[in-house]
Amino acid sequence: MHTRPSPRPRRTRGTRPRTTARLAAAVLTAAALLVSACSSGTSTTSAGGTVEAALAALPRATPSALTPYYDQRLGWRDCGTSGFQCATMKAPLDYANPDAGTVRLAVARKKATGKSKPLGSLLVNPGGPGGSAVAYLQQFAGIGYPAEVRARYDMVAVDPRGVARSEPVECLDGRQMDTYTQTDVTPDDQAERNALVTADRKFAESCGARSARLLRHVSTVEAARDMDILRAVLGDRKLHYVGASYGTFLGATYAGLFPGRVGRMVLDGAMDPSLDARRLNLDQTAGFETAFQAFAKDCVRHADCPLGGKGTTPARVGDRLQAFFRELDAHPVAAGDTDGRKLGESLATTGVIASMYDEGSWGQLREALTSAMKERDGAGLLALADSYYERDGSGHYSNLMMANAAVNCLDLPPAFSGPEGVEKELSAFEKASPVFGPGLAWTALNCSYWPVRATGEPHRIEARGAAPIVVVGTVRDPATPYRWARSLAGQLSSARLLTYDGDGHTAYGRGSACIDSAIDTYLLRGTPPTTGKRCS
């Protein structure tokens, strides 16, 4: 799910190589949804007393109005990237009215490299919402997944509707995004609060003006239904899938809608669809605090830690970081940016949060903090923030943040109805994370002004009748807290929970031979890990 810390939206990041680039394709996800037409009418009562509807499976037979989509043939062409082919797939803009127009979706694949009979297609999604699955395939999964997996599967990706190459949602331009990402999200007075509300309103209004046709039709349910069309077009009887972060919600939604078509499915860095937006954001805030505590303990062991020396408590490290943020709020520092941007509190917080996704980035964060705190050079933290936002050197942003908001605001009613709601919850968010809580509470306000009403609501996903599904949770995951993995595994009727006792966001392909072996065995042989398997 994507959480935009001092930044905005909120959602989740996906699996990437351990480089700064890895920070880009994953956005936190505070998404979850249920279209009323798909509700079974059955429900359970949560511990909190709320009623949670269960996502119901769609009819097994394909409606005749959708037959032209399921029967289409893809025209594969060279992508311009060695070994990959690309195509454009059509899906109905509105599944409730298939004659109302189409949406064109970008698809890419890399054919199985082995001589043995392929196992079928393996669809991958890195998270977001808003992360480009096609870019993830071409830059990592198609070349970085284990050779044995790539030998037996056609590696496939589709950019979800509204994302990247698939008719992207458009909102602010580059300069406007620069202004938006620098907006103060820890307002100290009424004027700053008004400025924050104005920024969120302008963002929402620009999306409504520039993407009016698409904005009502970028829900996770619709994206999951698009995946079933792709499964059929590829000639696969079952959908084999690896989804990370928000990609777990997308995959679980597919399983709930089409349980009989689930093949080998891995949901890594799982989300909990039964939670409302407020709870998702609060849980994620606590997740970032857990990750920050781990970073703080590691930081003070190093001589170059600018936040304290050996023996400094994590609480004291947090106090020093907060003091630095307050200083930047009052006096931003130069960052050597050609567009004149300086490093203020919002961008600095974004840079720190970006580094919580991967413990391999902690050294880079220490260096960036040292430069900013001791040398008054904000270039390092600004680079981390830009990577998080997918902003390039020319000042152009991908549509990551636009799609992120569009999907999340459609999938769930907003966390807060206005600034007053945030103020009432500030103490709870600050308790969850003294360092990040206030900023994350205020950034949860963005959907309050969205021009399109949410079509989803919190719900359980049971997917009764589905083949075994592997749900993976990382104990100190900042973006998708481990409790979410346990909850999703408890909802899915055929789930096997695989636990990674480690740091960072997601687990597969991040250095644990135990995790990788369990998932590879499942993908190649169909044998899921034993119940309760734990790796470190």
Identity (one letter) of the amino acid at 344? G
Catalytic residue chosen out of the listed positions 2, 240, 459, 505: 505
* N-to-C CA span, the chain: 24
CA separation for the pair 437, 426 (Å, rounded): 7
**206 included as an active-site residue:** no
Round to whole Å and give the CA distance between 247 and 250. Answer: 5
| Distance in angstroms (rounded) separating the CA atoms of residues 461 and 443 | 27
Q: What is the crossing angle of helices 174-181 and 379-389, to 10°?
A: 120
What angle separates helix 400-411 from helix 220-233, to the nearest 10 degrees? 110
Pairing status of strand 342-343 against strand 459-460: unpaired
Helix axes 190-210, 419-432, angle to 10 degrees: 110
Cα–Cα dist 331/236, whole Å: 58
Is 211 in the active site?
A: no
Q: Is the dihedral of CA 347, 348, 353, 355 positive or negative?
A: positive
Among the listed residues 154, 178, 477, 516, the single catalytic one is 477
Q: What is the C-alpha separation between 165 and 160, in angstroms, rounded?
A: 9
In angstroms, rounded to a whole number, what is the distance separating the alpha carbons of residues 94 and 217? Answer: 7
* Catalytically annotated residue among 6, 166, 245, 387: 245
Establish whether 505 is a catalytic residue. yes
Query: Which residue type occupies 388?
Result: Y
Taking the CA atoms of 231, 458, 407 and 500 in sequence, report the sign of the dihedral they define: negative
Whole-angstrom distance, CA of residue 162 vs CA of residue 218:
6
Q: Are 246 and 2 in contact (CB under 8 A)?
A: yes
Q: Which residues are catalytic?
A: 245, 477, 505
